[in-house]
A = this chain, B = another copy of it.
Amino acid sequence: MASFGCNSEPHSDSVSPFNINPLDPQEFRRQGHLIIDFLADYYQNVSNYPVLSKVEPGYLPKSLPISAPLNPEPIETILQDVKEHIIPGLTHWQSPNFFAYFSATSSTASFLGEMLSTGFNVVGFSWMASPAATELESLVMDWLGEILKLPKTFLFSGNGGGVLQGTTCEAILCTIVAARDQKLCQIAQIAGINPKNFRSIKTTKSNSFGLYPDSLESTIQMDIENGLVPLFLCATVGTTSTTGVDPLGPLCDVAKDYGLWVHVDSAYAGSACICPEFRHFIDGVEGADSFSFNAHKWLLTNLDCCCLWVKDPSALIKSLSTYPEFLRNKASDSNKVVDYKDWQISLSWKFRALKLWLVLRSYGVNNLRNFVRKHVKMAKTFEELVCLDKRFEVVVPRNFAMVCFRISLSAIANMYDHSDKHVCEDCANELNRELLDSINASGVVYMSHAMVEGVYVIRCAIGATLTEEQHVLMAWKVVQEHADAIAK
């Protein structure tokens, strides 16, 4: 397997530095205290505001700039806008005079818990992604089940279990698909499409793991010949395993011929596309129907915040809309407003725009670009270090700020002094797995892995807010030391 690496992007060395620390403890402290005081004052005065907002549709774009600032704005300016333009557009759910719908009670304790959760900003997926998050949730759900005197069969202690979901919409959706699948013995999955009817189309290293339009077309044709109706293509810009990039233009052309909806999932790499020099990775998106990326991954925005755009909102709304009598109101009836409940699963959605707005204003687009560039530059440095150590190879070309590397086959052949290539591939996988386990067990750095065409690779994804060059150099040193130890 050939090794890649040391490729270069235009501009990446000549960019302005990113000198802001978005988690600087002193600034965090100062601004945090400011917002606490602001909110304490808000609670003090909340009963004085008109409880139902009196603004007219379209009031806000008239008061705020139509583009994000290139340069940072101070929090004091932003707070002034919150006072003048956001608060008048709020319906004050925390007002003591709110008697509509059902209340959304809140409290200092919950606010503090949310602060801690947001502050730690751990991503829960598996238990190991943060054991405390899972274990505290299981514990608290048993506590609460006990207070409700739920039958023990619903609790972990009785082989059931509890989970926190965002909203009831999600809870019902999850249980209804469980019910359906239990009945149908797994003939359908969450969107009501039989898992058998999902196609994972093979990509290859020779094409840097981008999806070939020809492979897409032949897959579509085969399905049509079998009487199926292809309807959705999820193209990816920046895959999880290798940050591979699908060629959007040619894929959209094929999809268009067959009437497929094209969604572009750019969860990780979308943030990089705010830089002119990386924007080309989503060239061709004009042929797609929808595009999403996660500001909570690489754009300094705390979990959760996935940005989704669609060309035809009415298609979303047709599928997701609900309009029961108790929600009817003149503004919705007028069709002059966006009702975001019809754009997502949850009826009760969170005011997430505030954090994204604060990020864009507080740092400014220029700094956000430099933030991304800084990570890409550090990844380049890491990649160069891998290239300099003959025991290692970069396994797939780096596109963004993630480097896929491993102890190379030839190094292992030398180490074990044998030449059976097949045995060697297995050896290599085993050895690299051992290396990663040993690195991670140290607690000093944390990397992850992927399998790429049968090859176990170590993924070094550079992108934490606080990561500086020193941490990257140290990370490489840790890799080398653990490789030394394993070689012995």
Knowing A138-B338, A261-B182, A443-B50 are in contact, say whether A327-B126 is a contact too (CB < 8 A).
yes
| Binary interface encoding of chain A residues 400-442 relative to chain B, with 1 for a CB under 8 A from any of its CBs, else 0 | 0010000000000000000000000000000000000000110
Knowing A61-B139, A309-B160 are in contact, say whether A318-B167 is a contact too (CB < 8 A).
no
Knowing A66-B142, A192-B188, A357-B140 are in contact, say whether A309-B101 is a contact too (CB < 8 A).
no
- Would A52 and B440 count as touching, CB distance under 8 A? yes
- Would A165 and B68 count as touching, CB distance under 8 A? no
A240 neighbours in B (Cβ, 8 Å)? 101-102, 324, 326
- Would A130 and B90 count as touching, CB distance under 8 A? yes
Is A164 in the interface zone, CB < 8 Å from B?
yes
Q: In the complex, what distance in Å separates the CA atom of A358 from the CA atom of B108?
A: 9
- Would A165 and B132 count as touching, CB distance under 8 A? no
| Binary interface encoding of chain A residues 123-160 relative to chain B, with 1 for a CB under 8 A from any of its CBs, else 0 | 11111111111111111111111111111011110011
Within 8 A of B (CB), among A1-41: 22-29, 31-33, 35-41
16 new A-B contacts, CB < 8 A, other than A53-B131, A98-B445, A180-B232, are A32-B39, A36-B36, A60-B132, A89-B135, A97-B444, A99-B475, A100-B446, A101-B123, A113-B356, A113-B358, A114-B114, A125-B340, A127-B332, A161-B313, A173-B190, A176-B191
Q: In the complex, what distance in Å separates the CA atom of A260 from the CA atom of B175?
A: 12
Per assembly, the copies of the chain total 2
Partner of A465, one of B33, B106, B175: B106
Q: In the complex, what distance in Å separates the CA atom of A448 from the CA atom of B178?
A: 34
Q: In the complex, what distance in Å separates the CA atom of A338 from the CA atom of B210?
A: 34
| Segment of A201-209, A286-294, A390-398 in the binding face | A286-294
> Closest CB-CB distance, A58 to chain B, in whole Å?
7
Most buried by B among A117, A165, A300: A165
**3 tightest A-B CB contacts, nearest first:** A192-B192, A50-B443, A113-B355
Q: In the complex, what distance in Å separates the CA atom of A142 from the CA atom of B309?
A: 9
Q: In the complex, what distance in Å separates the CA atom of A201 from the CA atom of B16?
A: 64
Most buried by B among A105, A125, A180, A363: A105
Residue in chain B with minimal CB distance to A312: B160
Residue in chain B with minimal CB distance to A316: B178
A467 neighbours in B (Cβ, 8 Å)? 96-99, 103
